[in-house]
Amino acid sequence: MGTFLYTIFISLYVAGIKLFSCWNAKADLWIKGRKTYPAVTFSKELDTKTIWMHCASLGEFEQGRPVIEHLKKLYPAVKIVLTFFSPSGYEVQKNYTGADAVFYLPIDSKANADKMISAINPSLVLWVKYEYWFYYLQAFKQQNIPVLLVSGIFRNSQPFFKWYGASWKRMLPFFTHFFVQDKASEILLAGIGIDENITVSGDTRFDRVIEIAEQFEHIPLIQEFCGDSKIIVAGSTWEDDEAELIHYVKANPAIKFIIAPHEIEAENLKDVKKEFVGSVFYSELLTTTQSTANVLIIDNVGMLSRLYCYADITYVGGGFGDDGVHNVLEAAVYGKPVLYGPEFEKFVEAIELTKCGGGISINSALDLEEVLSRLWDDETLLQITGEAAKNYVHNNAGASKKITAFIQEKRLLIS
């Protein structure tokens, strides 16, 4: 696909989202968010450095966050610009105080790329995990702006490694350096001639979840809800995950459940509450003095990473859907067993967590009940499984330091 076809593709993509926005709230935010941008113009003085970090969505932001926050400590005067592709990231982090500006990435085009680079004047660009926008990456290369791929992951299924992937391969030389999560990614890139500017650094998410756990602060209402009960926290759940939990919840009223759905639109929350009869929303705890419910549904964003700390056993959703399981590290870092559905083969951390004994994949509601019964009945097994999960996270920390050390060594933020 040449640049002409690429431009046509981008135009059709935008047209499709505009059409979809007529009935989809996220698509509507995607369109409206790109109509206006903050007035961003940074100094062109040589002693003023700006880092531009781009993330597809919230998960990628959490991967890039420990890097920019570490760099901010090393270089206090540096400016930070943060862009998102998806509303799921922007809407949650638009007020992130660690950045000097936060906004949507304008649609990929030569004009937009030139305009944004001129306004931001970045000294360094961090592209987190994936998203390959030709005109932006080409412009960075043409203007000699270093671009680092942070926590990159490559698989055989990606177009870079297919017979039709020539135009995708064209974008890879635009990167100054690749920091990839695993050896398999390094081998794949070497197979297509990218073999001199790669570091297997690991995944920066390990560093991020450790930071969150170390900075943990109790949530009084959650603490009160839990009391002395056994607790299961189910995070980032979809309808398929909730269907696996329903019978167990009904059959075990003495256990308390905290369920944080992945989608918190009003209609979905209403459906979840209907599934779990007698459940209560977190927002309702704010206005009531006492609740006898054994199921608490989280109807906000941003709390999940702390909720796992309250669990005896955790469940991470997404593993019964085509996209696969969500972030298992947020749960594992607290030293709690992590359960998830069967679709996790695309996620290295879930595969390795299973291998080390800290994570357990379940295939059905019956399977879930059997695993939970086994863990509840054997306190030693419960403890060993939790410790294996925590050790796995801590044994894989350090990716952020490798990246920041490279930036220091190459003097990318020093005139």
Q: How confident is the model at residue 329 (pLDDT cuts 50, 70, 90)?
A: very high
Per-residue b or e along 374-396, where b marks 16 or more CB atoms closer than 10 Å to that residue's CB: ebeeeeeebeebbebbbebbeeb
* pLDDT computed for residue 38 by the predictor: 60
* pLDDT computed for residue 197 by the predictor: 95
- What gap in Å lies between CA 333 and CA 96, rounded to an integer? 24
**Of 81, 75, 79, which is closest to residue 45 (Cα–Cα)?**
79
* pLDDT computed for residue 88 by the predictor: 86
Whether the Cβ atoms of residue 341 and residue 360 lie closer than 8 Å to each other: no
* CA–CA distances in Å: residue 65 to residues 69, 80, 115, 155, 263: 6, 11, 25, 24, 23
pLDDT at 18 over 90: no
**Helix residue spans in 87-182 (DSSP H):** 87-93, 110-120, 134-142, 166-169
pTM of the model: 0.88
Task: Give the CA diameter of the chain.
Answer: 66
Helices 348-356, 379-395: crossing angle, 10 deg rounding: 140
* pLDDT computed for residue 130 by the predictor: 86
Condensed to tens digits (0 to 9), the pLDDT of residues 388-412 reads: 999 999 999 999 999 999 999 999 9
Condensed to tens digits (0 to 9), the pLDDT of residues 213-225 reads: 999 999 999 999 9
* pLDDT computed for residue 5 by the predictor: 79
398 exposure class (CB count in 10 Å sphere: 0-12, 13-18, 19+)? middle
pLDDT at 29 over 80: yes
- Half-sphere exposure (Cβ direction) of 51: Cα atoms closer than 13 Å: 26
- What gap in Å lies between CA 226 and CA 13, rounded to an integer? 46
Which tokens in the block code for residue 37? Answer: 């941008």
Segment 318-342 shows an average pLDDT of 96
More confident of the two residues 13 and 211: 211
Q: How confident is the model at residue 1 (pLDDT cuts 50, 70, 90)?
A: low
pLDDT at 47 over 70: no
